[in-house]
Amino acid sequence: MKTADWLHSEPWYEQDAYIVGGGSSLKDFDWSLLEKLNTIGCNDAYKLGQKVCKICMFGDLSWWRHHCEKMEIYKGIVVTNVGAIDGEYPPWVNQFDRLSHGLSKTALGWNGNTGAAALNLALVLGAKNIYLLGFDMGIIDKETNWHNEIIHPKAVLPSSYEIFRYRWSDVVKDLHIFPNRNIFNVNNTSILAGTTTVNVEEFWKDKT
C-alpha cells in the first residue's frame, strides 16, 4: 500500500474535522461554510472542489472506475482503503490497508460504507472533534443523496440503511482505540450510537 507519510503523522492533531457524507439533507447546504475547515468528503464530494473537500475518501472499486478520469482534475488529496484489482492506482491515490470491521490506527475500517472509513481516517489524522454531515442513514423526501449521480440506484434501498446502522456498532466498539475524541452527528433525522446528536440549524447559526 502506498500512503504519504504525513497522513500517519496526525496533521490534524487536536483540531476539528468535518466529514461530508452523501445524505440528501445536504442538498441545499451552503458549502462555503466548509472552505476554511479540515474536511473529508465521501465519494462524489470531490466535485465540490479542493476548497470544500480537502480530502476525498472512496472505498468502492465500481465508484472509482466510474469517476477516475474526472478525478484527474481534482486538486485535493485522494485516499482509499480498497486495493486496485485491475491494475495500479495513479501515484496521487493514497492507499491504506482495509479492515472489514471496526477501527484501526494503521488501516481504515470499512464497516459497510465510506462514511465509516472516513471517520477512521479523521481519527488517524488526529482530529479531536469530528462532525458528521449528511449521515442521514435513510431516505428523506424520496431522495437518497445530495448529488444526482447514483451509479447503482437499485442498490440504495431502505434495507441498505438498515445494514449501515447495524454495522455502525462495529465502529462504536472500537472508539476506545482513540481516547478523548468527540464525534458529533450534525443531523435532524438520524441518531448514531457513540455520537452526540446536534441540531443542524443550532449548530450552524453561530458559524454563518
pLDDT at 46: 96
pLDDT of 135 above 80: yes
H or E stretch including 94? strand 93-95
pLDDT at 157: 61
pLDDT at 162: 73
Domain count, the chain: 1
Domain of 162, CATH number, reads 3.90.1480
pLDDT at 102: 97
pLDDT at 179: 97
CA distance linking residue 127 with residue 11, whole number of Å: 8
pLDDT at 82: 93
pLDDT of 151 above 60: no
Which of helix, strand or coil describes residue 40?
strand
Measure CA 129 to chain center. 14
H or E stretch including 63? helix 61-71
Residues of the domain holding 115: 5-204
Please spell the DSSP secondary structure of 97-161, one letter per residue.
Answer: EEESSS--SSEEE-TTSHHHHHHHHHHHTT-SEEEEES---S-BTTB--SSS--S-GGG--HHHH
pLDDT at 158: 60
Question: Nearest-CA neighbor of 46 among 62, 35, 34, 57?
Answer: 57
